[in-house]
A and B are shown apart, each in its own frame.
Chain A
């Protein structure tokens, strides 16, 4: 029974997090001595589809129905569940992205499958069990969760599994699922792309700033640093509440949870609700003028100093580093 990967695309392309998810799904298939089938829905070109083979897909089911061009939660869940049944797949893997979080529970119900959301480890399959570690308590703990159902759905947290190139065949086949009108009651009126260059939930580097930056007019240095590092920008809750930055940048317990390789916090005190959204970051850098700021307790590197002096110096240092590298 193969593993089925849902390869989510945006504008005809797969993001890095999807290749991570493919690498993960390949490893799950290997654990079970089985093959990996991927399914892609929407307008994805053949070159892009072939990349799924590079990360381990033996076979790629390509669904390019005009009705399914844009993401419709219910319809996509039906298509993926149908593919799982056709392929006889008992494990479905997808990314714990915004769409993934809408899909996984619906697919779970359709397949009578237990669902692991926010997985951060490969399944432990000793003694016929199936146990996966997932985030819990807003990053303050992990719950080691066993799935006891025959079918299983796993949604993988971005930036937690490395890319592994496998060069499997990745042969592409067309797949024409049944389409039920009942799945299309929701209609998309508008899609608004935000101006940000790097999307926050799957950014590898995040430059985040808080009330210490004093006002929206001072954000140009934050943006410049982020640009240089290819990073997404983020902020603390009071900053977005005050309208200095859009709500989509608000990180923390009540905002977005991020798991980048590097999180740079500038002029943020490090309140527990903020830390809840960033504790999965691999490396944390804190710049704060108050040596007693709680953020230093969870940081790997810290600079005690005035952001208005430190950040411009940091920008220069990054420029120098890039010039040499």
Chain B
């Protein structure tokens, strides 16, 4: 069983997001970068699925040299080896094309991504990878079990969930609940330094999108406080002022 986990390098969840150059550039100054939390869940599940010499887990990242700390962390958590495609991750289609190219040369039984990256929240890479590779893709999965040549996957749908049986190889985007994130132990941290990390050159991709600028949401006005014993006042304001009920 060969599993590929796609990891993106994102600002820590508690980071205050700011921009520079007239709101055209993300300000990475002083920002702590982490493995995208959903990718950490995917990695944890991949490690569980290959426990006991049942296979290997490769992590792949499309990024420049500054993502290596994140890649090493994934190796410390328990990935077997790592690949970094040496390019700025321009957008989801660019990233998916790079990973697809690698997978065409180096096939895997299962490709896991996170349900979305917490920076651009696209939920796009999994579906694009599936399409580029001619494989089924399942997004927002809540559970995955392997049995022989197929996977049983639970995915979220509006107002419920769906259980699918999909032959391998498949691309799946993991959400919380699939596994508990793993914390690297001392042995993992030591061995991470010597595990293989291959650096691959990117392929040319026709770009289809670009970010022109950023906006931050308008700050909300002051909160209107209502006395605890006057719930009727709240209902009245929600009806007449906010017009939401």
Contacts and interface: CB of A to CB of B under 8 A. Distances in A.
- Which of A10, A105, A116, A196 is most buried by chain B, counting CB atoms within 10 A of its CB? A105
Interface in A227-251: 229, 247-248, 250
A217 interface: no
Contacts of B121: 117-118, 135-138, 257
Given A299-B220, A309-B228, A247 B140 contact: no
Nearest to B228: A305
B165 interface: yes
User: Do most interface residues of chain B lie in helix, strand or loop, or is the interface mixed?
Assistant: mixed
A157 to B, nearest CB: 10
Interface stretch (B1-9, B50-58, B153-161, B187-195): B153-161
B209 interface: yes
Specify which of A191, A202, A254, A279 lies most central, judged by the most chain B CB atoms within 10 Å of its CB.
A254
28 contacts: A15-B158, A71-B157, A73-B138, A105-B131, A109-B93, A110-B131, A117-B124, A118-B122, A136-B119, A137-B120, A142-B215, A145-B209, A191-B162, A192-B162, A199-B158, A199-B159, A229-B245, A250-B176, A254-B176, A262-B244, A272-B14, A283-B242, A286-B223, A300-B223, A301-B225, A301-B226, A303-B234, A321-B239
Contacts of A279: 217
B136 A196 contact: no
Residue picked from B139, B159, B166, most chain A C-beta under 10 Å? B159
A189 B158 contact: no
Given A254-B37, A301-B238, A314-B231, A143 B120 contact: yes
Nearest to B167: A185
Contact of A141 (B93, B127, B139, B215): B215
B31 to A, nearest CB: 11
B137 A102 contact: yes
Contacts of A205: 244-245
Contacts of A193: 159-160
Interface stretch (A20-28, A35-43, A61-69, A93-101): A93-101
Given A147-B208, A304-B225, A97 B158 contact: yes
A297 B210 CA distance: 33
Contacts of B211: 143-146
Given A73-B139, A148-B207, 14 more contacts: A73-B127, A102-B137, A108-B93, A110-B131, A141-B17, A186-B138, A188-B163, A190-B162, A300-B242, A302-B226, A304-B225, A313-B229, A321-B236, A321-B245
Interface string B127-144: 110111010111110100
A108 B92 CA distance: 11
Classify the secondary structure of A's interface with B. Answer: mixed
Interface string B144-178: 00000000100111111111111100100000110
A194 interface: yes
Given A104-B124, A106-B130, A253-B118, A136 B214 contact: yes
A269 B196 CA distance: 43
A187 B163 CA distance: 9
A194 B159 contact: yes
A133 B215 contact: yes
A145 B90 CA distance: 12
Given A136-B121, A145-B212, A205-B244, A189 B217 contact: no
